[in-house]
Amino acid sequence: MGGSVTQRDVAEHCGVTVGTVSLALREDPRISRATTQRIQAAAKELGYDPARHDVARRLISLRYGTRASTRIVALILPPKFARSAYFTAIFEGVLEELTAQQYTLVTAYADAVDGTIVRLPPVFSHGDVDGLILTELPEELPPLLDHLRANTHFGDRPIVNLIHRVSACSTVISDDETGAYHAASHLLDLGHRHLLQFVGNPLRDLEARRLAGLRRALEARGLDPAAHLATYPLRLGWTRPETAVKSLAELAAAYPAATVDHDFIAYLRAHPEITALLASNDANALHAWYTLSRAGWRVPDDYSLIGHDDTEPMLDTYGENLLTTVRMPLVELGREGARLILRRIAADGDRDEHRVVPTELVVRRSTGIPRAAAP
């Protein structure tokens, strides 16, 4: 065919609508496999070039002040996310889902000074993305959203925030309240009656949900949370996996990269009724395990210990993970975030949506009966 082949040419050739061609070229499940294959074969035969078509469509849209899809989604992650099992799992889920839907994923990060966004990658200012997925803390999200909404080339494009629930955009979170409930129930069933939860910011939605789950488990057994649940502030650096002891061999060797929180040891000695600890994440649990070991206490003989996320193991001499933890479905959370951003892109202008994915308690060998109940 002479000139540039369009989707309308393919539609006329196949005797279907342009919308059907568009869906078939994206392998949308609403179109039968046979029809998809027939349309894709015809497009190839006619010489249809989707890249050339998209560029032309975008130029026309810009000329008339309308929006054309780029089939590009941006994902803002911490600059060194590739070193984190937590964030690489989220990235894997987002990438898998977007790739399956023939979207391009662009990873980016935002520069900020004193909470003010000072720079974003050019894909935002050039209008090159259809939507954005984030993993921002609630207190850090407003300035970024304000910056994006004020950009005429981003404007009201859909945004999905993962992990933390906020009201300003769509969200996908894990069911941390139920996860904490099952973790506390497991400890209470073992005979523990006084629990300690590490807390960074109790006003943050994620931590508030976890505390609500712990309180619910205690109340279900007739225990007053005010008397049976203690909280301890997270020490700076205790959530960082790169400085945490990750094996019993390292514990025995007094791994030098970890630091001991003597205040925490003193707190536990002042509260001997506490027999079980619940961490903010697995790295936090590993730092706590190291500190307990340096004080002469053993896990789980003296203290039961539960992590949260299932990304950082404590390995025994056989390479088996010992840490009981609440498994966050990070890959599935990334997939659901991608599915949600695509729904929001397709439903341009519709209301924000909020999704919750389930967690799972994984019981290993860092929890046991409390020392007072041991025979």
For residue range 316-361, what is the model confidence (pLDDT) as tens digits? 999 999 999 999 999 999 999 999 999 999 886 568 999 999 999 9
Compute how many other C-beta atoms are within 10 angstroms of the C-beta atom of residue 360: 15
Q: Which residues pair with 233 in a beta bridge?
A: 199
Q: Which residues pair with 306 in a beta bridge?
A: 278, 324
| Beta-strand relationship, 324-327 and 195-199 | unpaired
Q: How confident is the model at residue 375 (pLDDT cuts 50, 70, 90)?
A: very low
- DSSP summary character for residue 366: S
Q: How many CA atoms lie within 13 A of 206 on its CB side?
A: 22
Residues whose CB falls within 8 Å of the CB of residue 327, separated by 6 or more in sequence, listed in order? 309, 310, 359, 360, 361, 362
Are the CB atoms for 337 and 331 separated by under 8 Å?
no
Distance of CA 228 to the CA centre of its chain: 30
Cα(24)–Cα(36) distance, integer angstroms: 5
Which of 79, 127, 72 has its CA nearest to residue 95? 72
What local confidence, expressed as pLDDT, does residue 215 receive? Answer: 98
What local confidence, expressed as pLDDT, does residue 251 receive? Answer: 85
Are the CB atoms for 129 and 74 separated by under 8 Å?
yes
For residue range 286-320, what is the model confidence (pLDDT) as tens digits? 999 999 998 999 999 999 999 999 999 999 999 99
**Residue labelled with tokens 């060194």:** 80
User: End-to-end alpha-carbon separation of the chain, Å?
Assistant: 86
What local confidence, expressed as pLDDT, does residue 133 receive? Answer: 97
Q: Which two tokens stand for residue 110?
A: 């935002």
Has residue 109 got a pLDDT over 90? no
Task: Considering only the C-alpha atoms of the chain, give the largest distance between any 2 of them, rounded to a whole number of Å.
Answer: 88
Compute how many other C-beta atoms are within 10 angstroms of the C-beta atom of residue 327: 18
Are the CB atoms for 365 and 322 separated by under 8 Å?
yes
Has residue 37 got a pLDDT over 90? yes
What local confidence, expressed as pLDDT, does residue 194 receive? Answer: 98
Burial grade of 251 (CB within 10 A; 0-12, 13-18, 19 or more): buried
Q: Which residue has the higher pLDDT, 154 or 1?
A: 154
- Give the three-class secondary structure for 40: helix
Cα(160)–Cα(149) distance, integer angstroms: 14
What string of H, E and C letters represents the secondary structure of 126-173?
Answer: CCCCCEEEECCCCCCHHHHHHHHHCCCCCCCCCEEEECCCCCCCEEEE
Cα(26)–Cα(41) distance, integer angstroms: 13
Cα(171)–Cα(356) distance, integer angstroms: 8
Which of 137, 133, 139 has its CA nearest to residue 161? 133
Say how many residues make up the chain: 375
For residue 50, the one-letter residue type is: P
- Helix then strand then coil, in percent of the chain rounded to 5, is 45, 15, 40
Cα(182)–Cα(178) distance, integer angstroms: 6
Q: Assess whether the previous peptide bond of 300 is cis (omega < 30° from 0).
A: yes
For residue range 192-245, what is the model confidence (pLDDT) as tens digits? 999 999 999 888 999 999 999 999 999 999 999 999 999 999 988 899 898 888
What local confidence, expressed as pLDDT, does residue 270 receive? Answer: 97
- Give the three-class secondary structure for 32: coil
Q: What percent of the chain has pLDDT over 70?
A: 89
Q: Which residue has the higher pLDDT, 63 or 163?
A: 163
Are the CB atoms for 309 and 86 separated by under 8 Å?
yes
What local confidence, expressed as pLDDT, does residue 144 receive? Answer: 87
**Residue labelled with tokens 């990235």:** 91
Q: Which residues pair with 164 in a beta bridge?
A: none
What local confidence, expressed as pLDDT, does residue 126 receive? Answer: 78
Mean pLDDT for all residues in the chain = 88
Instruction: Say which range, 90-94, 125-129, 268-272, has the weakest mean pLDDT.
Output: 125-129
Distance of CA 184 to the CA centre of its chain: 23
